[in-house]
Amino acid sequence: MSTCISKEIGCPQCGSSSKRQMWIGIGTVSNPELQKQILEETLFDWTCPVCGYKAQMVYPLIYHDRAKGLMIYLAPGSSSEELSGILSQYPQMEQVMRRKVPTLAALKEKILIFDAGLDDVAVEMVKSALTELVEKKYQCKVTAGYFMAADESLDYIGFAFFVEGLEHPVRQGTALEAYHKSVEILKSLRYEDGPGFDVVDQELAANLLEEYQD
Protein backbone atom coordinates (compact mmCIF):
# COMPACT_ATOMS: atom_id res chain seq x y z
CA MET A 1 0.00 0.00 0.00
CA SER A 2 1.31 3.45 -0.92
CA THR A 3 1.07 6.59 1.21
CA CYS A 4 1.01 10.13 -0.15
CA ILE A 5 1.04 13.42 1.76
CA SER A 6 0.81 17.05 0.67
CA LYS A 7 3.43 19.53 1.82
CA GLU A 8 4.03 23.25 1.31
CA ILE A 9 7.21 23.88 -0.69
CA GLY A 10 9.01 27.23 -0.90
CA CYS A 11 10.77 27.99 -4.19
CA PRO A 12 14.45 28.87 -3.58
CA GLN A 13 14.45 31.12 -6.66
CA CYS A 14 11.29 33.24 -6.48
CA GLY A 15 10.21 32.58 -2.88
CA SER A 16 6.64 31.55 -3.77
CA SER A 17 4.95 28.66 -1.95
CA SER A 18 3.01 25.78 -3.47
CA LYS A 19 1.74 22.39 -2.37
CA ARG A 20 3.47 19.25 -3.55
CA GLN A 21 2.55 15.58 -3.38
CA MET A 22 5.14 13.49 -1.55
CA TRP A 23 5.11 9.69 -1.62
CA ILE A 24 6.46 8.65 1.79
CA GLY A 25 5.48 5.01 1.25
CA ILE A 26 5.54 3.17 -2.07
CA GLY A 27 4.05 -0.28 -2.63
CA THR A 28 4.91 -1.90 -5.94
CA VAL A 29 1.60 -3.81 -6.00
CA SER A 30 -0.67 -0.78 -5.61
CA ASN A 31 1.45 1.74 -7.55
CA PRO A 32 3.82 0.07 -10.03
CA GLU A 33 4.11 3.34 -11.95
CA LEU A 34 5.99 4.85 -8.99
CA GLN A 35 8.67 2.17 -9.30
CA LYS A 36 9.07 3.24 -12.94
CA GLN A 37 9.60 6.84 -11.82
CA ILE A 38 12.28 5.69 -9.37
CA LEU A 39 14.09 3.77 -12.10
CA GLU A 40 13.85 6.79 -14.41
CA GLU A 41 15.09 8.97 -11.50
CA THR A 42 12.15 11.37 -11.92
CA LEU A 43 10.13 10.68 -8.74
CA PHE A 44 11.64 13.64 -6.87
CA ASP A 45 11.63 16.11 -9.76
CA TRP A 46 9.87 19.36 -8.90
CA THR A 47 9.04 22.45 -10.95
CA CYS A 48 7.93 25.74 -9.41
CA PRO A 49 4.50 26.58 -10.88
CA VAL A 50 5.27 30.30 -10.65
CA CYS A 51 8.77 30.81 -12.10
CA GLY A 52 9.51 27.40 -13.63
CA TYR A 53 12.54 26.69 -11.42
CA LYS A 54 13.42 22.99 -11.54
CA ALA A 55 14.98 20.92 -8.77
CA GLN A 56 15.22 17.39 -7.46
CA MET A 57 13.98 17.32 -3.86
CA VAL A 58 14.78 14.01 -2.19
CA TYR A 59 12.97 13.10 1.02
CA PRO A 60 12.70 9.93 3.17
CA LEU A 61 10.40 7.16 1.97
CA ILE A 62 9.76 3.45 2.40
CA TYR A 63 9.78 1.26 -0.73
CA HIS A 64 7.92 -2.03 -0.27
CA ASP A 65 7.95 -4.98 -2.69
CA ARG A 66 5.62 -7.50 -1.06
CA ALA A 67 6.27 -10.20 -3.66
CA LYS A 68 9.99 -10.17 -2.90
CA GLY A 69 9.58 -9.67 0.84
CA LEU A 70 11.65 -6.51 0.59
CA MET A 71 11.61 -3.05 2.15
CA ILE A 72 14.09 -0.30 1.33
CA TYR A 73 14.30 2.87 3.38
CA LEU A 74 15.53 5.87 1.43
CA ALA A 75 16.93 7.90 4.29
CA PRO A 76 18.93 10.99 3.29
CA GLY A 77 20.52 12.09 6.56
CA SER A 78 18.28 10.04 8.87
CA SER A 79 19.43 8.81 12.27
CA SER A 80 19.35 5.36 13.85
CA GLU A 81 16.67 6.66 16.24
CA GLU A 82 14.38 7.38 13.28
CA LEU A 83 14.92 3.84 11.99
CA SER A 84 14.05 2.36 15.37
CA GLY A 85 10.85 4.39 15.35
CA ILE A 86 9.85 3.03 11.97
CA LEU A 87 10.38 -0.57 13.08
CA SER A 88 8.25 -0.01 16.18
CA GLN A 89 5.43 1.49 14.09
CA TYR A 90 5.46 -1.34 11.54
CA PRO A 91 6.16 -4.66 13.31
CA GLN A 92 5.41 -6.56 10.06
CA MET A 93 8.75 -5.25 8.79
CA GLU A 94 10.47 -7.83 10.97
CA GLN A 95 9.37 -10.50 8.51
CA VAL A 96 10.98 -8.92 5.44
CA MET A 97 14.45 -8.09 4.17
CA ARG A 98 15.31 -4.51 5.07
CA ARG A 99 17.81 -2.14 3.51
CA LYS A 100 18.73 1.50 4.08
CA VAL A 101 20.10 3.69 1.27
CA PRO A 102 21.16 7.36 1.26
CA THR A 103 20.37 8.43 -2.32
CA LEU A 104 17.91 7.96 -5.16
CA ALA A 105 20.64 6.35 -7.27
CA ALA A 106 21.31 3.82 -4.49
CA LEU A 107 17.58 3.07 -4.21
CA LYS A 108 17.41 2.49 -7.96
CA GLU A 109 20.42 0.17 -7.79
CA LYS A 110 18.88 -1.94 -5.00
CA ILE A 111 15.68 -2.36 -6.99
CA LEU A 112 17.62 -3.47 -10.07
CA ILE A 113 19.68 -5.94 -8.03
CA PHE A 114 16.67 -7.59 -6.39
CA ASP A 115 14.67 -7.55 -9.64
CA ALA A 116 17.57 -9.51 -11.16
CA GLY A 117 17.22 -12.08 -8.36
CA LEU A 118 20.68 -11.38 -6.95
CA ASP A 119 22.10 -11.08 -3.44
CA ASP A 120 23.02 -7.42 -2.94
CA VAL A 121 25.84 -8.22 -0.50
CA ALA A 122 27.52 -10.49 -3.05
CA VAL A 123 26.98 -7.85 -5.76
CA GLU A 124 28.74 -5.25 -3.58
CA MET A 125 31.69 -7.63 -3.17
CA VAL A 126 32.02 -7.95 -6.96
CA LYS A 127 31.70 -4.18 -7.29
CA SER A 128 34.45 -3.68 -4.72
CA ALA A 129 36.85 -5.87 -6.71
CA LEU A 130 35.99 -4.15 -9.99
CA THR A 131 36.43 -0.72 -8.41
CA GLU A 132 40.08 -1.56 -7.76
CA LEU A 133 40.46 -2.76 -11.34
CA VAL A 134 38.96 0.44 -12.79
CA GLU A 135 41.11 2.67 -10.54
CA LYS A 136 44.27 0.86 -11.64
CA LYS A 137 43.22 1.08 -15.29
CA TYR A 138 42.51 4.84 -15.26
CA GLN A 139 44.88 5.82 -12.43
CA CYS A 140 42.06 7.86 -10.90
CA LYS A 141 39.69 7.48 -7.99
CA VAL A 142 36.25 5.96 -8.52
CA THR A 143 33.72 8.24 -6.83
CA ALA A 144 30.71 5.91 -7.25
CA GLY A 145 29.76 2.62 -8.83
CA TYR A 146 26.37 1.10 -9.61
CA PHE A 147 25.09 -2.31 -10.69
CA MET A 148 23.63 -2.21 -14.20
CA ALA A 149 22.63 -5.73 -15.26
CA ALA A 150 23.33 -9.45 -15.10
CA ASP A 151 22.74 -12.06 -17.78
CA GLU A 152 23.17 -15.80 -17.22
CA SER A 153 23.09 -16.56 -20.95
CA LEU A 154 25.95 -14.14 -21.56
CA ASP A 155 27.72 -15.11 -18.30
CA TYR A 156 28.01 -11.44 -17.44
CA ILE A 157 27.47 -8.99 -14.58
CA GLY A 158 28.03 -5.31 -15.35
CA PHE A 159 28.49 -2.02 -13.52
CA ALA A 160 28.84 1.69 -14.27
CA PHE A 161 31.65 3.54 -12.50
CA PHE A 162 32.07 7.28 -12.13
CA VAL A 163 35.77 8.16 -12.31
CA GLU A 164 37.34 11.47 -11.32
CA GLY A 165 38.30 13.49 -14.38
CA LEU A 166 36.09 11.57 -16.80
CA GLU A 167 32.92 13.16 -18.16
CA HIS A 168 31.04 9.91 -18.74
CA PRO A 169 30.72 6.80 -16.56
CA VAL A 170 32.91 3.81 -17.35
CA ARG A 171 31.23 0.45 -17.91
CA GLN A 172 33.02 -2.56 -16.50
CA GLY A 173 31.83 -6.13 -16.23
CA THR A 174 33.03 -9.61 -15.47
CA ALA A 175 31.92 -13.24 -15.63
CA LEU A 176 29.18 -14.32 -13.23
CA GLU A 177 31.69 -16.68 -11.65
CA ALA A 178 32.85 -13.69 -9.57
CA TYR A 179 29.32 -13.24 -8.24
CA HIS A 180 28.87 -16.95 -7.48
CA LYS A 181 32.24 -16.98 -5.70
CA SER A 182 31.08 -14.05 -3.57
CA VAL A 183 27.92 -15.94 -2.63
CA GLU A 184 30.08 -18.88 -1.50
CA ILE A 185 32.24 -16.55 0.58
CA LEU A 186 29.15 -15.22 2.36
CA LYS A 187 28.06 -18.76 3.12
CA SER A 188 31.49 -19.61 4.54
CA LEU A 189 31.33 -16.50 6.74
CA ARG A 190 27.77 -17.38 7.78
CA TYR A 191 26.74 -13.83 7.01
CA GLU A 192 23.22 -12.85 8.12
CA ASP A 193 21.21 -9.65 7.98
CA GLY A 194 20.98 -7.54 11.12
CA PRO A 195 17.86 -6.75 13.18
CA GLY A 196 17.20 -3.34 11.59
CA PHE A 197 17.64 -1.69 8.22
CA ASP A 198 21.01 -2.90 6.92
CA VAL A 199 23.37 -0.62 5.02
CA VAL A 200 24.78 -2.89 2.33
CA ASP A 201 27.51 -0.99 0.48
CA GLN A 202 31.15 -1.25 -0.56
CA GLU A 203 32.35 -0.56 2.98
CA LEU A 204 30.51 -3.65 4.18
CA ALA A 205 31.85 -5.62 1.21
CA ALA A 206 35.44 -4.59 1.96
CA ASN A 207 35.04 -5.60 5.61
CA LEU A 208 33.65 -9.01 4.66
CA LEU A 209 36.43 -9.65 2.14
CA GLU A 210 39.02 -8.68 4.76
CA GLU A 211 37.38 -11.06 7.26
CA TYR A 212 37.43 -13.86 4.68
CA GLN A 213 41.10 -13.31 3.83
CA ASP A 214 42.06 -13.40 7.52
- For every residue of 155-188, DSSP letters joined together read TEEEEEEEETT-SSPEEEEE-THHHHHHHHHHHH
Question: Bridge partners of 171?
Answer: 160
Sign, Cα dihedral of 198, 100, 119, 134:
negative
Q: Look at strands 97-101 and 54-56 and give their pairing.
A: unpaired
Q: Is 80 exceeded by the pLDDT of residue 85?
A: no
Mean residue pLDDT of the chain comes to 91
Cα torsion 200, 25, 16, 18 to 10°: value is 170
Sign, Cα dihedral of 196, 197, 200, 206:
negative
139/137 Cα distance (integer angstroms): 6
Confidence at 168, pLDDT banded by 50, 70, 90: very high
Listed by start position, the domains of the chain span 3-115, 120-213
Closest CA to 59 of 92, 21, 91, 113: 21
Task: Indicate the pTM of the whole model.
Answer: 0.89
The residue ranking higher by pLDDT, 86 or 175, is 175
Q: Residues with Cβ < 8 Å from 109, sequence gap 6 or more?
A: 101, 146, 147
pLDDT in tens, 14-37: 999 999 999 988 988 888 899 999
pLDDT in tens, 111-140: 999 999 999 999 999 999 999 999 999 999
